[in-house]
């Protein structure tokens, strides 16, 4: 079975600073995908960034980047130049290619950007 | 591009009743997944529909059932509601076959009293 663990229930960061959210996962699969989703108070889950496990290069999307350590089964999210609009719940998610597109989510990290 | 839409946004039901939640998938998507998100938790996979058939199911009892229609929209039905069914129900659509990410709707907040 796949599990996703986010060990930081809450975090805060000053506006314009950098913050890193942690995520670890457990799987026996070799081919899989990892995602970070953002859930603001509007409730809609919004895709932030995606990483294919077969790619060694870390994914980046503007101010968002990941540190993917496959051997350690670690997938952290770095947010640079934090903005007030980044305040939200952040969920790490795993999808294995053998699990029929089923996503496994962590329990989330509540991020607050302080003006 | 039309996004994923869910209805209703909020719903209050009594224990033992039945409920139907609806979802319209994003244009171009052929797969719909349903997730239950309890307060303070991450979403939990209920099931997925592809080509109008159930295509994977999580650890939920049979009183959770669904449908997918030819236009790829979907329904989630829950019978014999229990207090623990109170949660945010999220619908997500995707395109089967390319390991595409899920695109979510705004969810339906179900309260069972």
CA B91, A105, A8: angle at the middle one, nearest 5?
130
Spatial distance between the Cα atoms of B111 and B35, rounded to a whole number of angstroms? 16
Between B62 and A2, name the one with better pLDDT.
B62
Write down the number of H helices and E strands in chain A.
0, 12
A5 contacts in chain B (CB < 8 Å) = none
Going by pLDDT thresholds of 50, 70 and 90, the confidence category of residue B97 is: low
pLDDT of residue A60: 96
Closest-CA distance of chain A to residue B46, Å = 9
Q: Which of B99, B105, B106, B109 to substitute to test the interface with A, most A CBs within 10 Å?
A: B99
Kindly state the tokens that stand for B108: 């339906």
* Whether the predicted pLDDT of B101 surpasses 80: yes
Closest CA to B45 of A40, A105, A60, A51: A105
What is the DSSP track for A85-104? GG-EEEEEEEEETTTTT-EE
In this complex, do B56 and A35 lie within 8 Å of one another by their Cβ atoms? no
Question: What's the confidence (pLDDT) of residue B98?
Answer: 61
Q: Which of residues 66-105 of A touch B (CB under 8 A)?
A: 91, 93, 95, 97, 99-105
Report CA-CA distances (Å) from A115 to A87, A92, B40: 11, 25, 25
pLDDT at B29: 87
How far apart are the C-alpha atoms of B74 and A105, rounded to whole Å?
22
Q: Is the pLDDT of residue A109 over 80?
A: yes
d(CA A104, CA A113): 26
Q: Which residues contact B112 (CB under 8 A, 6 or more apart)?
A: B12, B13, B14, B15, B81, B82, B83, B84, B85, B86
Q: Residue A22's closest CA among A108, A115, A86, A112?
A: A108
CA distances from A110 to A15, A73, A75, A113, B22 (A): 15, 22, 17, 10, 28
pLDDT of residue A86: 97
What is the C-alpha to C-alpha distance for residues A21 and B50, in angstroms, rounded to an integer? 34
> A–B: how many Cβ contacts below 8 A?
63
Mutate which: A6, A93, A101, vs B, most B CBs within 10 A: A101
Mutation choice for A interface testing from B101, B103, B109, B110 by most A CBs within 10 A: B101
Mean pLDDT of A65-76: 96
Dist CA B4 CA B17 (whole Å):
27
Quick check: B42 and A91 CB within 8 A? Answer: yes
Closest CB from B58, B94, B106 relative to A44: B106
Question: In 10 A of CB B6, how many CB atoms?
Answer: 23
Query: Between chains, do B43 and A103 touch, taking CB under 8 Å as contact?
Result: yes
Name the token pair of A3.
């599990």
């Amino acid at each position: 079975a796949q599990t996703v663990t986010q060990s930081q229930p809450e975090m805060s960061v000053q506006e314009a600073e950098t913050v890193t959210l942690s995520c670890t996962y457990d799987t026996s699969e070799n081919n899989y995908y990892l995602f970070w989703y953002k859930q603001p108070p509007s409730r809609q889950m919004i895709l932030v960034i995606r990483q294919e496990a077969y790619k060694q290069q870390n994914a980046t999307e503007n101010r968002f980047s990941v540190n993917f350590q496959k051997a350690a089964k670690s997938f952290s999210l770095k947010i640079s130049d934090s903005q007030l609009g980044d305040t939200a719940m952040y969920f790490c998610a795993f999808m294995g290619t053998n699990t029929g597109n089923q996503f496994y989510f962590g329990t989330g990290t509540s991020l607050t950007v302080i003006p | 591009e039309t996004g994923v839409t869910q209805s209703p946004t909020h719903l209050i039901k009594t224990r033992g009743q039945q409920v139907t939640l609806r979802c319209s998938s994003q244009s171009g998507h052929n797969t719909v997944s349903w997730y239950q998100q309890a307060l303070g938790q991450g979403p939990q996979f209920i099931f997925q529909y592809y080509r109008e058939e159930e295509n994977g199911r999580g650890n939920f009892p049979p009183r959770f059932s669904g449908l997918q229609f030819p236009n790829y929209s979907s329904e989630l039905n829950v019978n014999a509601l229990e207090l623990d069914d109170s949660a945010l129900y999220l619908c997500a659509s995707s395109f089967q076959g390319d390991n595409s990410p899920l695109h979510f709707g705004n969810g339906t907040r179900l309260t069972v009293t």
